[in-house]
């Protein structure tokens, strides 16, 4: 028996309002499809819930920097790295965990490759070169990598690792093998093999080279005749500077002395050797007295003659002439008095002559001193050049010995650090620690009832959807309103549904 329903066709206006009874009739009409969909979805959910049980095991690894491995380098004052780990270093450790080599070790140790099978599609690939064992290992490796989860929480140096497997034992063994493989890989990456042997060889090499350099440095004073070339060079340069200054002063004194000698000689030649020290003028009293007495006598004689003779008498004239001569002599004596002059050597000339003699003596000594300074400067210059060469050689030996000593100390310290690191490695003291070891899980990661109830909800939703889709896609007429609405003509009569027996008979 068909149940009419008032559902509008797509694109047509609905002429009645849908009710709950209409939905019930739709469900009844398509009950077989709904039941089939419900059973299929629910059975699939139940099968998936009870066939895909997975057990998850997890562990946590903390990355720290409690110990520092020796750094290979020639700078022994290089600052050690900070104890704070960077995000790049943590991400590098994550990549080490997920490296193919580590995962292959786990797959081989646990036997996941033996559990895998060769894909069917791979058998159809032409030109295969890999063996079935390699294919199984690669397939097991991909499955293991897909189910392995490695997370790095923010602002933390802890790495969380989890793995899902079909059995609790398999999940535990896989993570346990992964922890061992990662620690070995971490040790191989951060502690290259052969460091102690390398540092030991370098230590012996630099010790021998340092001993040889020290022997050369100790024998240098004997071969070069210089104990400390740098200090002796400084002393020689200081003395050379003093001699050059003395030479300059001596040359200046020579020029001054020569000019002083020339000046003194010129001044001495232009000055008289003697000077008048005193001049005294006086009359000749004895002569004047004689002349006056003679004049008086002559005048008395003329007076006596005038008494007897005439002035023109020859004797009187002679006496007058004598009187005149005497008077002229007196006048001449009075006009030219006696002059007494005293002379002596000039003290200035004598001083200049003495200074000239001193200057000439000083000039001789300055010439000898200049010659001596020239020879001494030449000797010190030659000594300075020799000491400079020896100082450079000695400084080169000292630098070489210092460098070799620094390198020897560096490699000696590195060798000891490497020995300590090897001892720590043997004691399993690493910068990696398992803060949470993997354990064998007890319960699966998901409860099967959750999947079952999710399957029930999905089955109901898909069943109802199947009925609605079937109803909207069905184009048959079931009611009088459907016919009138579609043909737009009135329906005169409708026949009731045929009984079941009649329909069976008609078939």
Report pLDDT digits (tens) over 8-43: 444 343 444 667 776 777 777 777 888 888 888 878
Residues of the chain with pLDDT > 70: what percent? 73
pLDDT at 331: 80
Rounded to 5°, the CA angle 178-181-183 comes to 105
Q: What is the pLDDT of residues 137-175, one digit of tens each?
A: 788 788 888 888 888 887 777 888 888 877 788 888 888
CB-CB contact of 453 with 212 (8 Å): no
pLDDT at 477: 65
Q: HSE-up of 483 (CA within 13 Å, CB side)? A: 11
CB-CB contact of 65 with 402 (8 Å): no
Mean pLDDT, rounded, for 401-414: 86
Least confident of 3-17, 88-102, 450-464: 3-17
Mean pLDDT, rounded, for 40-60: 76
pLDDT at 282: 61
Q: In sequence order, what are the beta bridge partners of 341?
A: 279
Mean pLDDT, rounded, for 339-348: 68
Residues of the chain with pLDDT > 90: what percent? 0
Taking the C-alpha atoms of residue 485 and residue 190, their distance in angstroms, rounded to an integer, is 84
pLDDT at 338: 61
Mean pLDDT, rounded, for 221-243: 79
pLDDT at 10: 41
pLDDT classification of 53: cutoffs 50, 70, 90: low
CB-CB contact of 274 with 366 (8 Å): no
CB-CB contact of 20 with 9 (8 Å): no
pLDDT classification of 484: cutoffs 50, 70, 90: confident
Taking the C-alpha atoms of residue 232 and residue 214, their distance in angstroms, rounded to an integer, is 21
3-state secondary structure of 447: coil
CB-CB contact of 330 with 295 (8 Å): yes
Let me know how many helices (H) and strands (E) the chain has, helices first: 16, 6
Query: Phi and psi at residue 278, in whole multiples of 5°?
Result: -155, 145
pLDDT at 9: 42
As a whole number, the mean pLDDT across the chain is 75
Mean pLDDT, rounded, for 98-110: 84
Q: CB 370: neighbour CB atoms within 10 A? A: 16
Highest mean pLDDT among 117-121, 152-156, 437-441, 476-480: 152-156
pLDDT at 280: 64
pLDDT classification of 430: cutoffs 50, 70, 90: very low
Least confident of 357-361, 364-368, 425-429, 441-445: 425-429
Taking the C-alpha atoms of residue 209 and residue 220, their distance in angstroms, rounded to an integer, is 17
211 Rama sector, left if φ>0, alpha if ψ -120 to 50, beta otherwise:
alpha
Taking the C-alpha atoms of residue 170 and residue 502, their distance in angstroms, rounded to an integer, is 66
Query: Phi and psi at residue 280, in whole multiples of 5°?
Result: -130, 125
More confident residue, 133 or 343: 133
More confident residue, 274 or 99: 99
Would you mind telling me the total number of residues written for the chain in this entry?
Answer: 507
* Predicted confidence (pLDDT) at residue 45 exceeds the cutoff of 50: yes
Q: CB 386: neighbour CB atoms within 10 A? A: 17
- Cα torsion 111, 114, 116, 120 to 10°: value is 160
- The H-or-E segment that residue 14 falls in is none
Strands (E), 416-487: 432-436
* Predicted confidence (pLDDT) at residue 104 exceeds the cutoff of 80: yes
pLDDT at 305: 79
pLDDT at 129: 63
3-state secondary structure of 98: coil
* Close Cβ partners of 34 (under 8 Å, ≥ 6 residues apart): 27, 463, 464, 466, 467
pLDDT classification of 83: cutoffs 50, 70, 90: low
């Amino acid at each position: 028996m068909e149940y009419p329903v008032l559902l509008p066709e797509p694109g047509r206006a609905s002429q009645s309002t849908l009710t709950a009874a209409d939905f019930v009739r739709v469900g009844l009409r398509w009950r077989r499809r709904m039941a089939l969909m419900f059973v299929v979805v629910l059975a699939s959910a139940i099968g998936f819930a009870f066939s895909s049980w997975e057990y998850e095991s997890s562990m946590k690894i903390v990355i720290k920097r409690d110990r520092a491995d020796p750094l290979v380098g020639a700078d022994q004052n290089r600052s050690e790295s900070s104890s704070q780990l960077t995000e790049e270093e943590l991400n590098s450790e994550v990549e080490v965990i997920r490296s193919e080599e580590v995962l292959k070790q786990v797959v081989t140790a646990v036997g996941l490759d033996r559990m895998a099978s060769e894909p069917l599609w791979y058998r159809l690939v032409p030109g295969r070169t890999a063996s079935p064992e390699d294919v199984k290992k690669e397939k097991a490796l991909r499955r293991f990598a897909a189910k392995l989860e490695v997370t790095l929480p923010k602002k933390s140096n802890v790495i969380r690792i989890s793995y899902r497997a079909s059995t609790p034992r398999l999940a535990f063994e896989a993570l346990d093998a992964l922890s061992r493989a990662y620690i070995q890989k971490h040790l191989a990456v951060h502690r290259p093999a052969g460091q102690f042997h390398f540092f030991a060889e370098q230590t012996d090499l630099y010790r021998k080279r340092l001993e040889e350099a020290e022997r050369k440095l100790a024998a240098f004073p004997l071969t070069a005749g210089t104990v400390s070339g740098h200090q002796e060079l400084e002393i020689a340069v200081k003395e050379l500077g003093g001699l050059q200054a003395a030479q300059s002063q001596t040359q200046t004194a020579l020029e001054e002395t020569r000019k002083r000698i020339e000046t003194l000689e010129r001044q001495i030649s232009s000055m008289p050797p003697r000077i008048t020290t005193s001049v005294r003028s006086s009359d000749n009293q004895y002569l004047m007295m004689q002349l006056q007495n003679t004049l008086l006598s002559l005048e008395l004689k003329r007076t006596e003659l005038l008494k007897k003779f005439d002035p023109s008498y020859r004797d009187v004239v002679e006496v007058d002439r004598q009187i005149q001569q005497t008077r002229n002599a007196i006048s001449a004596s009075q006009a030219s008095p006696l002059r007494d002059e005293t002379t002596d050597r000039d003290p200035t000339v004598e001083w200049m002559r003495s200074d000239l003699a001193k200057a000439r003596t000083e000039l001789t000594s300055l010439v000898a001193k200049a010659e001596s300074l020239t020879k001494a400067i030449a000797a010190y210059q030659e000594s300075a050049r020799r000491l400079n060469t020896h100082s450079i050689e000695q400084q080169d030996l000292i630098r070489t010995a210092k460098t070799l000593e620094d390198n020897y100390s560096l490699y000696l310290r590195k060798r000891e650090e490497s020995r300590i690191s090897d001892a720590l490695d043997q004691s399993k003291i690493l910068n990696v620690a398992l803060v949470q070891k993997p354990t064998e899980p007890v319960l699966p990661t998901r409860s099967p009832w959750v999947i079952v109830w999710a399957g029930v909800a999905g089955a109901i939703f898909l069943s109802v959807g199947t009925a609605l889709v079937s109803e909207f896609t069905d184009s048959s007429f079931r009611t009088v309103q459907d016919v009138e609405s579609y043909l737009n003509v009135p329906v005169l009569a409708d026949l009731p549904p045929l009984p079941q027996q009649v329909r069976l008979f008609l078939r």
